[in-house]
Chain A
Amino acid sequence: MKVATVAIGSLVALTALALLSPQWLVFMAMLVLAKGVVVLGLLVLMRTGLVSFGQGLYFGIGAYAAALLSHHLHVADAAVMLLAGAAAAGLIAALLGLLLAGYRDIFFAMLSLAFSMILYGLLVKSAALGSTDGFNLHARTLFGVALAPGVERRVFLIAAAVCAVVVALLVHGLLGGHWGRLVTGVRDNELRVTYLGASPYRVVYVNYLIAGTIAGMGGALVALAVGHVDPETTYWTTSGEFVFIAILGGTQSILAPFIAATIFEALRTMASQYAPNVWQMSLGLAMLAIIMFLPAGLWSLAERRRRSV
């Protein structure tokens, strides 16, 4: 019941935002939703006890898949692009997951980083894919309905909100049930999970697949919002940013990634306006403060408050 309220409430709020707010806010909200979705995937992995420093791989695949459709096949439908982004990322995740699901800890983190850097290396050097400059894309329709140039972004935001809410509900349902228990079991003690008859490899594989697919969707959303893709989407600093947002929010709630992404984007916008030279420094200091004082993320503030009431 409560879940339904939150879901409908955020949909309504985001729709209102899409229709009423100025263009820059629409753009920012779109970025927040896209990054929130990617970080949601990281949350699923972190519940399994794994941190991927290579989610930029799927983020980039999603973005490029959407952009390639528009640029080379002249598909202009946003829904097709979103689906293609998620599907392309899911496909690669299904392949690489076979390998990565056997790794843990720092090796999982580093190997996923290596794969994202392989894609970065390919993109930077391939002239057909725009090299370091990337290329533009343009989506003109949604489900075949043509959109007027001014309202495109607003409609995309509503589509993004629907995507994000649906994905968040699915993940919430998945982690709230039997699967969620299994996932934390794998994090806490893998060997015992094996003895109980479940396969940690399978758990990690499926979670990796989920994380990759929704990161691809996030990438396609960003491509739609920005109208441009470049190799920076797959660089390790992009992946690091996602990990930062995940740590900022914490892993206790499905809402935490979205709230953390909102704070992150707001701070970034302010910093680039007023203090562009100390943006990374403030990011670093904030990260240290959170790791030291709020190891479970900002969400633990809300939890603490609830407990004291």
Chain B
Amino acid sequence: MSSILPVAFDGIAYASWLFLISAGLTLIYGVMRILNVAHGSLYALGAYAASSLAGVWLERGLPAAGSFAMLLLAAILVGCLVGPLIERGLLQWMYGKDEVVLVLITYAVFLIIEDVIKLVWGVDSLLLPEPYALPGNFLLGDLPYPVYNVLLIAMALATGLALAWALYRTRQGKLLLAVIHDREMSMAMGINVSRVYLATFAVGATLAALGGAFTAPTVAVTPGIGVEVIVLAFAVVVIGGLGSLGGAALGALLVGLVRSATVHYWPEAELFSIYAVMAMVLIARPKGLFAAQEARKI
């Protein structure tokens, strides 16, 4: 069938977007044992900041290609300012609490940021179509297909590889893995766990904001855009196994392909299919595809 190719492309593009967001979520969970609901608001903040920054850039009549740099800059700004603010200002006092309580705490942060966004940017939607239209289309079979989506795929690939490299090939990454493996022992060995947490949260937040920033040109940025994203990212991360980077990649790919297939062939089942996949994976493998087994404790 001629429509297989676009379906696959759509699926992979959607998966790339999902992966950017889920990678941050799973990283934060893996290191800090926090299932961060506020990830959705960091995504929204990224989208808003990107719209504003790139909007200002284009208004000034600066070269349009630079708006991509503005998207990136917005994500990094949000991640490195708001991320540490949340971690240092609130979460660092909460470590050691029950995982479900931590979910509630980040849910509270999510609610607060939702309103902060409304107060700062108002309730009207922001539009920023230029970066999406700029790279143009190419022909996929006989269908014009946006180059922007290909850029998104490339960026997700690059981000995934960079994360894997940083995690498994650098000294900092090995310290991080040690903290994941045994927090107290790493502390005893002289690793500054508090700083590792801060860095992890900042990186995770940047990834969420990155997802938001590069979504901003494709949609109308309105209040509440983070609400749906967060449960989607949860689904992806839970499918892959909480805390597993490879799991997030596989989960994103699975969800992305399933979604684009249902959208093309059976559009009514779009949302249903994603969560049905999640439920089926959890039924078959209760802790997700790539989760480590834990010892039972009496």
Residues of A within 8 A of B (CB): 51, 53, 99, 102-103, 105-107, 109-111, 113-115, 117-118, 120-122, 124-126, 189, 191-192, 236-237, 240, 243-244, 247, 277-281, 283-285, 287-288, 291-292, 295
Q: In the complex, how many angstroms separate the beta carbon of B55 from the nearest chain A beta carbon?
A: 23
Q: Are A277 and B118 in contact (CB under 8 A)?
A: yes
User: How far is A109 from B227 in the complex, measured between Cα atoms in Å?
Assistant: 17
**Chain A residues within 8 Å of B124, by CB:** none
**Per-residue interface assignment for chain B, residues 41 to 81, with 1 indicating a CB less than 8 Å from any chain A CB and 0 otherwise:** 00000000000000000000000000000000000000000
Which residue, of A102, A189, A191, A287, has the highest number of chain B Cβ atoms within 10 A? A287
Interface of A is mostly: helix
Is B276 close to A, CB under 8 A? yes
Q: Are A121 and B114 in contact (CB under 8 A)?
A: no
Interface residue from A110, A115, A277, A292 paired with B115 (Cβ < 8 Å): A277
Shortest Cβ distance from B98 into A: residue: A105
Chain B interface residue count, Cβ-Cβ cutoff 8 angstroms: 44
**Chain B residues within 8 Å of A191, by CB:** 296, 298
Q: Are A125 and B231 in contact (CB under 8 A)?
A: no
Given contacts A114-B278, A126-B268, contact A105 B111 (CB under 8 A): no
Q: Please, could you name 29 A-B residue pairs with CB atoms under 8 Å apart, sorted by A?
A: A53-B103, A105-B100, A106-B100, A111-B238, A111-B279, A113-B231, A113-B234, A117-B231, A118-B275, A118-B279, A121-B273, A121-B275, A125-B268, A125-B271, A192-B298, A240-B107, A244-B107, A277-B119, A281-B112, A284-B107, A284-B108, A284-B111, A284-B112, A284-B115, A287-B104, A287-B105, A288-B90, A288-B105, A288-B109
**Chain A residues within 8 Å of B279, by CB:** 111, 114-115, 118
User: How far is A288 from B97 in the complex, measured between Cα atoms in Å?
Assistant: 13
**Chain B residues within 8 Å of A243, by CB:** 104, 107
**Top 6 A-B pairs, shortest CB-CB distance:** A121-B271, A284-B111, A281-B115, A284-B112, A121-B272, A287-B108
